Amino acid sequence: MRQILRIAGPFLMIVLVAIGFVQLDPLAVLRGNAPPVEKLTIELAQINQGELKLRLRAESSEAMSVAQVQVDGAYWKFEQTPPGPLSRLRTAWITMNYPWVQGESHHITVLTNTGATFDYAIDVAMSTPDPASSLGWFLGLIGLFVGMVPVTLGMLFFPALRAAGPGIMAFVLALTMGLLAYLFVDTLSEAQDLAEKSAETLSIRKVVWLVALVTAVGLFMIGRRLGAGSGNGRGPAMLACAIALGIGLHNFGEGLAIGGAFASGAVTLGSFLVIGFTLHNITEGIGIVAPLTDQRPDLLMLCGLSALAGLPAVLGLWVGVQAFSTHWAAIALAVGAGAILQVLIEVGLLIQRRYLDSAAPQPLSSLLAGGVLGLVLMYSTSLIVTV
């Protein structure tokens, strides 16, 4: 009984203090008759035949009302679902019949009842694609060429890696480190870009860091439990899986970016761009098989690894062309960044065990050259495919 009181006591006091503060309202003198500063984020736009749909999220401390909507500088009839004032962090859809023009820009301004305005630009208008249409198949194919194909091509280096001497092996593992370091930075900055566009109140930029850290630590713990770091036979296979998973999540983000750029008209999916991505991602295949050189993986396992690393790009493309919530996409990429961070640590530990802790001469120059080359290779090939 006393124990319960000890725990409940502080909670009771918190509630009492809160009630007392609200009842006495000592801050009343600070409030003028001015309305609080309003904030509203237009999270996404869907463009359908003769129709524009926007999702709004209210961010003010007090409920706010959408009074009128301008499209291209003209008041336009709209419907709000659900109707009525929007309290903090609530969302609503605004739907308008609007004769939008394919390939041109449209500007939308939302007026609240206080006359505050919030703007949104559709840079290049085109119908929000339906993944079930022929476009969906086409995007799936693009996803395969961005994800599966390069990873599989990279894995074709496996026999050559097995035949290589220990100096080359150290070089390849360091190359993998460089590659993963690049992917970590790339995924995290992509996540931050998306967080920037999300509702400010949700503080997605912080969430991205936290999710990445929790994912990395969580996967690290799971890996320990399954024996990834140990010297036994399962270790290298587990590490290859972890690398494939991290790369897969990164490729999901890449698909998301390509799909989003395509849907917003920012990019034409020409063959040049697709080949660029294929080249860019070939190194990923080498990275996945690098820990397996002293193993004898069967074909099924190699196919599985390639699917794990490559297929998420297809999914990313499908999601990316839809009107999607930037905050969820940012969190998905944060998970990817965390997964990559974890394999970065695991590969680092592997290099430590194999080359730095051993009595044999340490291949320091090979490691340095491999790491730097990994970074340079990824960065330079990324220049042709920046979307």
Partner 1 sequence: MNFPRINRRHLLGTGLVGSWLGLIGASASAALATSSDTPKGHSPHAAGSMMTVGDVDPASNGFDPHSILTDWDRGVTSVDSDGRTVREFLITAEDKEIEIAPGVLFSAWTYNGRVPGPTLRVTEGERLRIVFRNNGSMPHTMHFHGIHGASMDGLTGAGEVEPGGEFTYRFDAYPFGCHLYHCHSIPLKRHIHKGLYGGFIIDPDPDLHPDLDPQAIAIARSRQHGTPENAIWQEMVMVMNGFDTNFDDENEVYAVNTVAHAYAKQPIAIARDRPVRIYLINITEFDQINSFHLHANFFDYHDHGTTLAPTSRTIDTVMLCQGQRGIVEFSFAGFEPGRYMFHAHQSEFAELGWMGHFEVVA
Residues that bind partner 1 (CB under 8 A): 44, 49-51, 65, 67-70, 73-78, 96-99, 101-102, 109, 111, 113-117, 121, 123, 126-127, 129, 133-135, 137-139, 141-142, 145, 197, 257, 260-261, 263-275, 320, 323-324, 326, 386-387
Token digits for 40? 């509203």
Closest separation in Å from C-beta 199 to partner 1: 15
Nearer to partner 1, 140 or 304 (CB): 140
Nearer to partner 1, 193 or 369 (CB): 193
Closest separation in Å from C-beta 379 to partner 1: 15
Nearer to partner 1, 170 or 334 (CB): 334
- Confirm if 236 and 291 have CB atoms less than 8 A apart: yes
Pick from 123, 105, 42: nearest CA to 78:
42
Closest separation in Å from C-beta 243 to partner 1: 27
Q: What is the dihedral of CA 253, 300, 276, 324, to 10 degrees?
A: -20
What DSSP assignment string belongs to 16-42? HHHHHHHHH-TTGGG--SSPPPP-EEE
Helical residues (DSSP H) of the chain, grouped into ranges: 2-24, 134-146, 148-155, 158-163, 166-197, 204-226, 234-263, 271-289, 299-310, 312-321, 326-351, 364-383
DSSP reduced 3-state for 82:
coil
Nearer to partner 1, 9 or 115 (CB): 115
Closest separation in Å from C-beta 261 to partner 1: 4
Nearer to partner 1, 70 or 295 (CB): 70
Cα–chain center distance at 260? 12
Nearer to partner 1, 65 or 295 (CB): 65
Closest separation in Å from C-beta 210 to partner 1: 23
Token digits for 234? 């399962």
CA separation for the pair 277, 273 (Å, rounded): 6
Closest separation in Å from C-beta 78 to partner 1: 6
Closest separation in Å from C-beta 211 to partner 1: 20
CA separation for the pair 273, 289 (Å, rounded): 26
CA separation for the pair 71, 295 (Å, rounded): 62
Nearer to partner 1, 202 or 373 (CB): 202
| Radius of gyration over every alpha carbon of the chain, rounded to an integer in angstroms | 26
